[in-house]
Amino acid sequence: MVNAAYVIVALPLLGFAVNLVFGRRLGEPLAGWVGTAAAGGSFVAALITWVAMLGKPANMRAADLGIYTWVPVAGLHVGLGLLVDPLSLTMLLFVTGVSSVIHLYSIGYMHRDPGFDRFFIYLNLFLFSMLLLVLADNFLFAFVGWEGVGFCSYGLIGFWFQREIAAVAAKKAFITNRVGDVGFLVAIFFIFFHFGSLNYSRVLGTLVHGHATGLMAGAPGAIATSTATAITMLLFLGAVGKSAQIPLYIWLPDAMEGPTPISALIHAATMVTAGVYLMARVAPMLHYAPDTSWMIASVGAGSAFLAASIACAQDDIKKCLAYSTISQLGYMFMAEGAGDYTDGLFHMLTHAFFKALLFLAAGAVIHALADRQDMKQMGGLARYMPVTAITFTCAWLAISGIVPFAGFWSKDAILDSVWQFNKVLWGIGAFTAGLTAYYMSRQVALVFLGRARWQEARPLVSGAGAGAAHEPAEEPAGEPGLPAPAHGGEPHDAPWTMTLPLVLLAIASVLGGGINFDAFGHFDFLSRFLAPVFPTATPVVVGTATKWALSLVTLAACLAGIGLGLRTWVSGEHPALEPAFLQRAWFFDSSVAATVSGPLQAGASALAFVVDRKWVDGAVNGVAAGLRASGRALRWAQTGYMRTYLIGMSVGLIAVLAYLTFRVGS
């Protein structure tokens, strides 16, 4: 039943087309239901495909479905095809699942927004592009999806484009992604140059009939280390751009200008995981490039720590979560760098659940408080928004790595592999886990516990200025948004379209650990499911006792973090714990602006005003001036008098005759 794979991809495309043409007429909320139905249908089709796949033996689960030959040029054959194998199916399931849930949430969140239909057009297009990225069977087709999600991200971050800050953030996101895309493209060139093909099966080898071929076989000499290193480094550059690692993470915090469902879907669960997926896909090649693996693990660890430290000092509820995303992505890359792809993907799954939940709950809070995003002006909301508070708590405990929530299992699995890989990186990871628990607890304390600071009538000061953004047609700051005042000014839980997704995701955050529960033997479904795709992965051989010890250490760190966070932040503000260095994200943006933008702008000015205006224009104008001068010089011959013309003709005639006469003699 791999034909369901076509349906998976076709449904979002159909939803996009329907909304594009009829969206205005369908209006709210029907356009939203169309989009949600498309996403939900995709999820169902993914489930069907998965069930069908489970029916096959473990090592025959890859199917390459060709659709169309795209580039049939001599030597380069690129087709549009779908590769349905365990890896892509894993991605498919959670992408479509989380996406459907968020589509449902958006119906409620985008209520009464003038761009309601446009939102769902973009959402479905995004889903379609993401599915292309995941299902493509060659690098170029995947790149099409890669660019598509980048574009949709741009369109959705700048959804309220009338706000300049949103438009700027969208541009920043797109351009930073582009920097990474250069790496991806050059990698594609290298791959074609070396392998003569861009197809995954041919480049990475296949696993059919029970044995691996090509790079998947892991045989030495299949590819030179330098080539593999070059290709994988370039691909990692692309991944860094898309998944917001150092140094291309700068776009993700600014991307919080977009609506909260977008932050949940694109910048937490799906698009930013594209980089992780890419690295997992080229795992066979990474086997031959240990340097790149080191690089991946180090960058992951660095990003994890850096982002976690910054998140400890953020006031905006969404920015805090954005840095948290960067941090968790760092964990995934650490796992992949250590050679344990399965656990990286496991963490990707659990992270999708609890991070999406965190964002959606934050969205509910923002919505309830009339678009206020500054955590310092929240507080005590647990009383008023119980469902939101409970679901947020589930996510909080999951991300903090508390047993038995999902995050504990995935994070621990990663840290086990990293321990085997390098102890220093393990240390960073463990410490960051503590930091994570700390800042998440800080967030919980500021938002849901303590004094209800929002009741104190402070004027609306939005960190990301969501107040004016949410309803651009309405009056800006100072006016409360829509739902809250209608009920007497008290925040309350959101309508069912928004709370149902929260509940679903909370359940997943609690139970998600069961996907790869390897503590007591054979519940490691995910590992076994994905094993055929990663024959070259490094097996984790950490002794059980060591595993227990490591888990306990990490758990202790997390509990300490929780305790510290709650105790410190329930009671009030502590400016000393929020140094400017952390608040301003280690001054990274400003230093980039100073070192890179400054010279670039100077160069651009030089080019524009000197080269273009003086030299090029001068040359063109100089030609014109020269022509004019020569014309003026030649004017004297046009006297207007017939006689001079006659004389001229006569002289010419005589000259010709003279020439003929003298030629006669020669």
Residues that bind other proteins in the complex, under the rule CB under 8 A: 635, 637-643, 646-647, 650-651, 653-654, 657-658, 660-661, 664
Give the nearest distance from C-beta 185 to other proteins in angstroms: 59
Closer to other proteins at the Cβ: 611 or 653? Answer: 653
DSSP 85: S
Q: Strand, helix or coil at 170?
A: helix
Closer to other proteins at the Cβ: 621 or 650? Answer: 650
- Looking at the DSSP assignment, which residues form a beta bridge with residue 337? none
Give the nearest distance from C-beta 603 to other proteins in angstroms: 48
The H or E element that residue 352 is part of is helix 341-368
Give the nearest distance from C-beta 637 to other proteins in angstroms: 7
Give the nearest distance from C-beta 625 to other proteins in angstroms: 19
Which pair of structure tokens corresponds to residue 590?
A: 């400003």
Side chain identity, residue 620: V
Q: What is the residue-wise DSSP string for 353-402?
A: HHHHHHHHHHHHHHHHTTS--BGGG---GGGT-HHHHHHHHHHHHHHTT-
Crossing angle for the helix pair 496-511 and 386-399, to the nearest 10 degrees: 30
Give the nearest distance from C-beta 632 to other proteins in angstroms: 10
Q: How many CB atoms lie within 10 A of CB 519?
A: 16
Closer to other proteins at the Cβ: 610 or 655? Answer: 655
Give the nearest distance from C-beta 621 to other proteins in angstroms: 24
Give the nearest distance from C-beta 650 to other proteins in angstroms: 5
Closer to other proteins at the Cβ: 544 or 638? Answer: 638
- Looking at the DSSP assignment, which residues form a beta bridge with residue 230? none
Closer to other proteins at the Cβ: 225 or 644? Answer: 644
Q: Strand, helix or coil at 316?
A: strand
Q: Strand, helix or coil at 249?
A: coil
Closer to other proteins at the Cβ: 576 or 642? Answer: 642
Closer to other proteins at the Cβ: 488 or 640? Answer: 640
Closer to other proteins at the Cβ: 60 or 649? Answer: 649
The H or E element that residue 83 is part of is strand 76-84
Q: Strand, helix or coil at 63?
A: strand
Query: HEC states along 120-144?
Result: HHHHHHHHHHHHHHHHECEHHHHHH
Give the nearest distance from C-beta 624 to other proteins in angstroms: 19
Whole-number Å distance between alpha carbons of 492 and 590: 39
Closer to other proteins at the Cβ: 182 or 654? Answer: 654
DSSP 199: B
Question: Phi, psi at residue 69, to the nearest 5°?
Answer: -85, 115
Give the nearest distance from C-beta 656 to other proteins in angstroms: 9
Q: For the chain, how are helix, strand and coil distributed in percent, rounded to 5?
A: 75, 5, 20
